[in-house]
Chains A and B, each alone.
Chain A
Amino acid sequence: MDIYSLTPLILAIPFAMFLFIGLLGTKFKPVVSGILGTSGLAAVFILSLLTAYRYFWVDGMADHTYRMFVAAETTWLTFTEKLIIKGGVLIDPISVMMLIVVSTVSLMVHIYSIGYMKGEKGFERFFAFLSLFTFSMMGLVVAPNIFQMYIFWELVGVSSFLLIGFYYQKPSAVAASKKAFIVTRFADLGFLIGILILSYINGTFDFLSITSPEGIAVTKNSGLTFLGFSAATWAMMLIFMGGAGKSAMFPLHIWLPDAMEGPTPVSALIHAATMVVAGVYLVARLFPLYYFTNPNTLHLIAYIGGFTSLFAAVIACTQYDIKRILAYSTLSQIGYMILSLGVSGYGGEEGLGYMASMFHLFTHAMFKALLFLGAGSIIHAVHSNYMNDMGGLRKYLPITHFTFLIACITIAGIPGFSAFYSKDEILVAAFHHDKILFGIELFVAGLTAFYMFRLYFNVFWGADRHYHHTPHESPYVMTIPLIFLALASVLAGYLPFSEFISSDYRPFETEMHYNIAIPSVLVGLIGIAIAWLLYRKVNNAPDKIVKSLGFLHTSAFNKFYIDEIYLFITKKILFNLVSRPVAWFDRHIVDGTMNGIAWTIEYTSEKIKGFQSGQLQQYALVFVSGAVFFLLVFLYLFFN
C-alpha cells in the first residue's frame, strides 16, 4: 500500500476523534475518551513515522534533491476559473519533519494528560479539544496552498482559545483566552491581506507555483507599489505579521505568557512545541520568496527575532511563576529560530540558517515539551505555580528531577545534548551574516542557561518548603512521556539534519565550528555557574542584587510595561477617540433615524385607530355616504 495515499488519514483520524469524543464522550467513562484520543494519536504517529521513513530514506530524493509534491488533493470550492480553493497534503522535507514533531509531542501530551487531567471536570472535553488541535495543526503543516494554511491557521487559533480557556470558571483563564485570540486574530488580519495581495499577484494559492522560480519572478516584477513599497514587500511583511502574531514575536508577544492559564499539557503542546512555531514554519515555507524578492524584509525579520529573544530572556530572569519562565523561554527560543531564518542565505552551506532554524524547531519542540511536562509534574506534586513555594524537590520527584535536569542542560547548550548542535548552527549562521545579532544571541545563550538553572536550583535544590502533604512522584502515565522526551532531547542532536532539510532541498554537509561552539558553551557554563552560586543554597544574595538593580529589575519584572502600553493605546486612545464617537453616532444618528420612523408610525396609528370603532352603523354610514358621494361625482362628471 502506498503510504503517501494514506496521508489524508493523518488529518482524518484526529478529526474523527474530535467529533466522536466531543459528541459522545460523556456517554462513557472519562478514561475511555482519553484512551480513544491517545490511540487515535498513536495511529497518526505511526503514519507520520512511516511517511517520514518512506520520504527520507526510500524515495524522497530525485536527482539529489528532495521532491516537493502534493500527495493528495481535492477541490473544495470553485468560485471562478482562476479562483479555486483546494485542500490536500503537501509532502516536502519541512512538512514531513513537522508531521513528526507534531505527532510525537501530541502523542506524549495525550499520554501525559491521562494522568495529569485525571478527575478533572471536562476530561472528555479536554481530549476532544486536543484532537481538534492536532487535526488543525496537521492541516496547517501539510497545507499545499496558502489558503488551506490560513484556514487551519485560524483553526489552531480557535483550539488554542478553547484550551487556554479550559478552566472557564476562572476569570483569569477567560481573560487570557480572549487576549490570545484577539491578539493573534489581529495579526491574522495582516496575514489575510498579505495572502490576498500575494495570490492576486501570482494568480494562484499553491505553494508549489508561488515558491517556484517562475512564481518568484512574477512576485518580484509585479510592479505595483503602495506608499513607496512594492506590493510584494507589503504582502511579505503582512504575511510575516500573521506569523509574528502566532509565534508571539515582539510586539505581539503579550498573549503567550498569559496563555499559561491553560492546563500545563496544553502549554506543552500548543504554546511551546507546535502552534507557536507556526510562524517560523510559515516563513520557512515561503523562504525562497522572502530571500529573492524581499531581502530587506528578511533582515527585519532577523532583527525582530533577535530582539524578541533578548527581551524575553531578560524578563524570564525575573519571573517567579515557573510556567511563565518557560513561556518567556519559549519566546526567546522562537526568537532564535526566526533570527536564524532571517540571517539565512539560499542553497547549500549558505542556507545554513534555514536548516538551523528547522533543526532548532525540532529540538526545541522536544526539550520544551519536556520542560513543560516536567513543570506540570511539579505543579501536580506541590499544587502551586510559584517558585517560592518549591524547594528541595529532588528527593521527592526523582524522575521529574532527572528529566528536568536533562532538559535544562539541553537548553543551556551543553555539548552532547541536542540544543547544543542546533544552537551552534544558528550562531554560525548569525556570525556569518551579522556580528551584532551574533553578539546578542551569544549573550542570550548565557541568559538562557542562567534563568533555566535559576529555575532548576530553586525548584529542586534549596530548602524544603512547608508542603500541604509530602510531594510524591507522578504516576507512570506521566513519567513515561517525560523519559521518552528526555531521550529525544538528547538524541535529536545526533540526527544529520542537513542531510534532510535545506533551503534548496539539496542535502549538504555541516561540520562543527569550534571557534563559535567553544565560546557559546563557555557562556552557557558561566550562566549555569552564576545560577549555581546564587540559588544552590538559600541565601540573600539574589535579593541584594535585585535591590541594587532597582528600576531595571522592576521594569523587567513588569515585562517592560508592554501590557500597560497596549492598554493605554486601546483604552485611552482608541476607545476615547474612535470607539466612543462611533458609538455615539450609532446610538444617536443610526438608531435615532430608525426609532424616529417607528415613533411616527406609532403616533399616527394611535390617532387614526378610532375609526375602527366596532360600531356597525358607523361603518354603514361611512359606506352609504361614500356611495352617495361617488354617485354625485359621477352625476357631475357625466351630466355636466
Chain B
Amino acid sequence: MNTLVPLSFFLIVSTAMFFIGIWGFIIRRNLITILMSVELILNSVNLNFVVFNRILFPDHFQGLFFSLFVVAIAAAEASVAIAIIINIYRRFSTIEVDSVNEMKY
C-alpha cells in the first residue's frame, strides 16, 4: 500500500467536509441544499471509515463495507427526504426552510 498521501490529509479533508456540511445545514435556506449538506456530513464520515480501516486493519473489510452500508442508507434517506420536500412544496409552494414553521408554540 502506498503511503504517498499522509493520514492527516485525509482527516483534514473529512473534517472540512463535515463542518462545511454542518455550516450548510444551519445556514442554507433551500431544503435541497440542506439535503446536500447532510450528504456531505455522511460522506465525511465514510471517508474516515475507509481511511482508518485501511491504516489500522488492512486485512479487514468492516470499515469498507460499513461505508457502503452508509451510502445505501444515504440513498434511501435521500429518496425519503426528496419525497418530503416535494410534499412541502405542494403544501407551501416553497422549499425555503424558514417559511415552514407551523410547528411552533
Q: A residues touching B (Cβ–Cβ < 8 Å)? A: 609-610, 612-617, 620-621, 624
Q: Are B26 and A620 in contact (CB under 8 A)?
A: yes
B67 shortest CB reach to chain A, Å: 22
Which of B26, B98, B101, B102 makes the CB contact (< 8 A) with A624? Answer: B26
Q: Are A614 and B101 in contact (CB under 8 A)?
A: yes
**Given A621-B26, A624-B26, residue A616 in contact with residue B97 (CB < 8 A):** yes
Which of A613, A620, A621 makes the CB contact (< 8 A) with B104? Answer: A613
Which of B25, B102, B105 makes the CB contact (< 8 A) with A620? Answer: B25
Contacts of A624 in B (CB 8 A): 22, 26
Counting CB contacts under 8 A, is B5 at the interface?
Answer: no
Task: Give the complex CA separation of A169 and B103 in angstroms.
Answer: 55
Against A, the Cβ 8 Å flags (1 = close, 0 = not) of B20-33 are 00100111000000
Q: B residues touching A (Cβ–Cβ < 8 Å)? A: 22, 25-27, 97-98, 100-105
Task: Give the complex CA separation of A609 and B105 in angstroms.
Answer: 6
Contacts of B97 in A (CB 8 A): 615-617
Can you list 14 A-B contacts with CB-CB less than 8 angstroms, sorted by A residue number? Answer: A612-B103, A613-B101, A613-B104, A614-B100, A614-B102, A614-B103, A614-B105, A615-B104, A616-B100, A617-B26, A617-B98, A620-B26, A621-B26, A624-B22
A-B pairs with lowest CB-CB distance, top 7: A614-B104, A614-B101, A609-B105, A612-B105, A614-B103, A621-B26, A617-B26
Q: Are A610 and B26 in contact (CB under 8 A)?
A: no
Contacts of B100 in A (CB 8 A): 614, 616
Contacts of A610 in B (CB 8 A): 105
Contacts of A609 in B (CB 8 A): 105
Given A613-B101, A616-B97, A620-B26, 19 other A-B contacts at CB below 8 A?
A609-B105, A612-B103, A612-B104, A612-B105, A614-B100, A614-B101, A614-B102, A614-B104, A614-B105, A615-B98, A615-B104, A616-B100, A617-B25, A617-B26, A617-B27, A617-B97, A617-B98, A624-B22, A624-B26
Task: Give the complex CA separation of A613 and B104 in angstroms.
Answer: 5
Contacts of A615 in B (CB 8 A): 97-98, 101, 104
Contacts of B22 in A (CB 8 A): 624
Contacts of B98 in A (CB 8 A): 615, 617
Q: Which residue of B lies closest to A617 (CB)?
A: B26
A563 shortest CB reach to chain B, Å: 61
A601 shortest CB reach to chain B, Å: 15
B13 shortest CB reach to chain A, Å: 20
Task: Give the complex CA separation of A400 and B68 in angstroms.
Answer: 112
Q: Which residue of B lies closest to A613 (CB)?
A: B104
Contacts of A614 in B (CB 8 A): 100-105
Task: Give the complex CA separation of A620 and B98 in angstroms.
Answer: 13
Task: Give the complex CA separation of A617 and B101 in angstroms.
Answer: 10
Contacts of B105 in A (CB 8 A): 609-610, 612-614
Task: Give the complex CA separation of A152 and B105 in angstroms.
Answer: 58
Q: Which residue of A lies closest to B104 (CB)?
A: A614
Contacts of B25 in A (CB 8 A): 617, 620
Q: Which residue of A lies closest to B28 (CB)?
A: A617
Task: Give the complex CA separation of A613 and B103 in angstroms.
Answer: 8
Task: Give the complex CA separation of A620 and B37 in angstroms.
Answer: 13
Q: Which of B97, B100, B101, B105 has the largest number of chain A CB atoms within 10 A?
A: B105
